[in-house]
Chain A
Amino acid sequence: MAEHWPPSFPRADPGSVPAVFFAEPAAAGVSCSMARTAPSPRPVRSRVLLRPPSVGRSIPKLEAYDKVLGRALYLDDLHVPGALVGRTVRSTIPRGRIRRIELDPAFDWTGVVFADHKDIPGENLVALIEDDQPLLAVEEVRHAEEPILLLAHEDPERVEAAVRAVRIEYEPKEPVLTVEQALAKQAIIHGDDNVMKAITIARGDLDAGFAGADVIVEGEYRCGHQEQLYIENNGMLAERTADGGLTVRGSLQCPYYVHKALTRAFALPDSKVRVVQTVTGGGFGGKEEYPSMIGGHAALLAWKSGRPVRIVYDRLEDIAATTKRHPAVIRMRTGVMRDGTLVANQIDIVMDGGAYVTLSPVVLSRGAIHAGGCYRCPNVSIMARAVATNTPPNGAFRGFGAPQTEYAIECQMDRIAHRLGMDPVALRRRNAYATGDVTPTGQTLRESVGAHAVLERTAARVGWAAKRRAYERANAAAAREERAGRFSRNGARPGGIEPSSTAAPARRVRRGIGLSLVLHGAGFTGSGETRLGSQAAIDLKPDGLPRVLVANTEIGQGTITVFAQVVGETLGIPAQLVTIEEPDTGRVPNSGPTVASRTVMVVGGLLQQCARAMREKLELFAERPPRDADDFRRIARRWLEQRGPLRVESHYQKPPEIEWDDDRYRGDAYGVFSYASCAVEVEVDLDTGETRVLRVTTAQDIGKAIHPVLAAGQIEGGTLQGLGYALLEEVRWKEGRVWNHQLTNYIIPTAMDAPPIDVEIVEIPYSRGPFGAKGVGELPMDAPAPAVVAAIAQATGVFVDEIPVTPERLLRALAARASVACEGARAMSPVARAGPGRERRE
């Protein structure tokens, strides 16, 4: 059932703060209205709101002041007298055995601290899900860049030279470098069969579904590694403490993950390990689990030397050695009726986990759960496997499995639309989730289902039908002109071209528009949040103002500001008066990691509860609600004088309506999903295969934008990462090692590659989210890639089934189609697909 939305909506300028369009749940479905400020769905108990609400307003970002002044201290900015510089000696082969390690006797080793696996006081592992990844290799090497030794010295030049003075002799073995090789099982490198994890999700009767289908469409889709490319490289600083413990500081997302890893590697009780987040220059998941490794290394050197040790990777090492997005091969077989209704969907997913398990089971899980996309289908089978290869372990990257599988299902939907001669938006409209629909895991989508809203808003905002027609006409006209030998001389002047113009004359270009529809579950999957058991607290400072105590980290997304808004609003004081304590495991409870789009919805929700509790206590104490911020402060200080400290805590409680069965993989995978639709317009240069993105238009339902500018910022940033994933970012391999580990050769978009990104936020509140908020961090990553592929398909007539759609890939696809159609296009011979197992000629 399609929802009807008001036809007219003011179109914001690209780059202006997005207008907020939201809806309140009503008894009979969803209605819409537009207003400047949104009353919160759950009225705060106190009847007095002391100020115009902060939630829903874009107050100046509190974290930004230090950053624009250049005063924010990132890990490498800290002045630590006496600190040693740590470096890591790594494997140069992808698989084999270490036969011998020799320290060059001609090198002066005086003062160089040396640590290997024998120095690890506790367990030689990086604790995460399975205890399979060593902190330092012992004898076996399972991937290139596997850490083997650690060195440290005061003088960075000396320790760099020391790294080169280590000679390691290996007995190499034939590595497994692709998922195909892993599944062929010629060599077993993990478990019995190279499979780290397998997940099956099933619903209905697949055979019956296919039997009843009018048309069956098959597709195979491939996506590769992607490097998070935070502009601040990984770095950690460790020191021994006087009481025989460790304090570790650094660039990280999850202080308690590092804490857990260190307690095990150093056999220390919880109280003796302290982990503190420093200002972090981007994470995107790349600093979810990896800091446990580099933190363990810095800690080991500090342990051995008794001095503080700082390890900061340079870009070459960071790209080569740290985690990446899991590559995937996704096969789909989909049965549809002639009117576009999906009746059967069979999906097979294989992900490349790299050499150790790290987070692969969870990435696989999220990928599998999202693999059916945003669509109703009564008969679904999803089989997913994560396999091991002898490559650096893959890990968390924004989206965490969903960008891979939703790229596939969206491409599949476009293929289906093409096959049926149906408009791609109409096909999505026919099948998109509405309230009450059931997902492949058997979850009923009870509330806050924005799929139709974002689809319609995006299509309307971009002018889908008109653009689609216009591009079709323009492409046909361009082709006609070219056949007649007429080319536009755009930009050409007699004697040459405009300098600094990238619009060279007489280009052969085509344009197209594509659209996607995606969803993203907020919070940890299934029983994950229950197992996390997150805790949050708020206490009062001596000045009578509140202090938030959580382990969630600001990594650019605005955590501090948003938490301050949620707490401030609930307490009835300005956000600027709320202090957020530094994420320091010595001072804050474990509110869970800053991942999985859970920070606002789950932890913000816990903080809202704390703030309510604090407010109730103070109101009871004062026998009236505070009149304003000053009054709040007076009452709070009176409490402190008369009753001592005030601290309120809240613990995660699973909402009773959420049920999940881990064994059968059925039930409510997430409390709620966020939804997004994204329209991408491209221009393809037929001579070079280059695709330029002209514009992105996207509507995203995130429940509630606590801070619209920050929310839009998440959407814009995630969208551009998605465009990079679709077009530019490819990890190239040589003999099992990352070949393009310089920033010159791992290509992310510059400001000139980035298009204007037009964002509309749709608010369909979630009853369990603070002020209705769901998750926004990862959702934007899921949408762009398939929309790009579809836009290129309109522009060129070819669906490319592998991303990134590099110019090489696109020209090859065009030539393949042309040679089939016997047109006079220049034919290119097929070239082996890039991947770790495919070598490049020198």
Chain B
Amino acid sequence: MTGRVDLKLVVNGRARRVLVPPMKRLLDVLRQDLGLTGTKEGCGEGECGACTVLLDGVSVNSCLVPAFQADGQKVVTVEGLAVRSKLSRLQQAFVEMGAAQCGICTPGILVSARELLARSSGRVPSEAEVREALAGNLCRCTGYQKIVDAVRAAAAAGRRTSKPRRAGRGARTASAARRVASGARRTASAARLAPARRAGARSRRRA
């Protein structure tokens, strides 16, 4: 076919439909046609992973996926990780443990980490496993240390067996984090968060 494709996708649990050229990149469909700018472009070559989304549950570089191949698929982006304004455990861990510095790699990393935690089925992945799961997500700011720690902390929190961290910084309670979140000043350029709506689904705590 030439011209446009009538693309029907489920993005972050919501049915979406757009008319786009078939070879338009999924990354650009998300950012431009669907207004979901959380997913980023860092290289256009599938090297940096800033464009990582889940496509039918698996992590992919959306800069390498033509729109037509996403037709009928489920996509999860960073915008789909929080439930309404409540941060997921992963997101919370990133905020508290310094795993996000400039933040440009953060959406892609969160999505890759989300996939890792989903397939770890409740286990806390080892440091080596986390590093391998994130090997396709380049970060230039953090040195990865706090990212790896935050992913593991989130997994541990999910198990509800996390031991208190020795230096006392890692394991704030969810309620404390929420208090802080509601009082915190945002940067001046922050947009208002659209409530995440999931048609017909009960809200579920997510990793």
Chain A residues with a Cβ under 8 A of chain B: 10, 12-19, 58-74, 76-77, 79, 228-233, 278-284, 314-315, 500, 554-558, 560, 564, 574, 576-582, 708-710, 712-713, 716-721, 742-744, 748, 750-752, 754, 756-757
Contacts and interface: CB of A to CB of B under 8 A. Distances in A.
Given A68-B100, A73-B190, A750-B136, 4 more contacts: A76-B37, A228-B140, A233-B42, A751-B135
Contacts of B134: 750-751
A18 B79 CA distance: 32
Contacts of A19: 166-167
Contact of A70 (B79, B139, B169, B177): B79
A230 B35 CA distance: 24
A73 B143 contact: no
A827 B168 CA distance: 54
B31 interface: yes
Given A231-B140, A751-B130, A315 B106 contact: no
Closest 10 CB pairs of A and B: A70-B38, A67-B103, A281-B104, A556-B102, A556-B101, A716-B143, A70-B78, A77-B37, A720-B143, A17-B169
B45 A67 contact: no
B118 interface: no
Contact of A751 (B42, B144, B189): B144
A61 B96 CA distance: 7
Contact of A231 (B104, B131, B145): B104
A554 B144 CA distance: 19
Interface centre among A15, A228, A556, A712, by most B CB within 10 Å? Answer: A15
Given A60-B95, A77-B31, A280-B102, A754 B145 contact: yes
A838 B130 CA distance: 40
Indicate the size class of the contact surface on chain B: 35 or more
Interface stretch (B66-74, B178-186, B197-205): B178-186
Interface string B137-178: 111111111111100000000000000011111101000010
Nearest to A715: B143
Contacts of B187: 63, 66, 72, 279, 554, 560, 580, 582
B188 interface: yes
B33 interface: no
Nearest to B146: A713
B101 A751 contact: no
Contacts of A314: 44
B107 interface: yes
B132 interface: yes
**Which label, helix, strand, loop or mixed, suits the secondary structure of the B interface?**
loop
B50 interface: yes
A157 to B, nearest CB: 10
Given A230-B102, A315-B45, A710-B98, A576 B140 contact: no
A717 B141 contact: yes
30 contacts: A14-B145, A16-B149, A16-B166, A58-B169, A60-B181, A62-B185, A69-B87, A70-B78, A70-B81, A76-B37, A76-B40, A79-B35, A228-B140, A229-B140, A231-B104, A232-B42, A279-B103, A315-B42, A315-B48, A558-B98, A580-B187, A582-B187, A713-B142, A716-B146, A717-B140, A717-B143, A721-B143, A742-B47, A751-B148, A757-B143
Nearest to A707: B98
B127 interface: yes
A695 to B, nearest CB: 11
Contact of B103 (A13, A72, A708): A72
Interface of B: 31, 35-45, 47-48, 50, 77-79, 81-82, 87, 91, 94-98, 100-107, 110, 127, 130-132, 134-149, 165-170, 172, 177, 180-181, 183-191, 193
Contacts of B35: 79
B64 to A, nearest CB: 13
A81 to B, nearest CB: 13
A261 to B, nearest CB: 23
Interface centre among A564, A574, A743, by most B CB within 10 Å? Answer: A743
A68 B110 contact: yes
A73 B141 CA distance: 18
A384 B149 CA distance: 43
B91 to A, nearest CB: 4
B3 to A, nearest CB: 15
A657 B47 CA distance: 51
A710 B100 CA distance: 10
Interface centre among B44, B106, B177, by most A CB within 10 Å? Answer: B106
B143 A754 contact: yes
A232 B138 CA distance: 11
A70 B77 contact: yes
Interface centre among A15, A59, A67, A76, by most B CB within 10 Å? Answer: A67
A63 B146 contact: no
B78 A15 contact: no
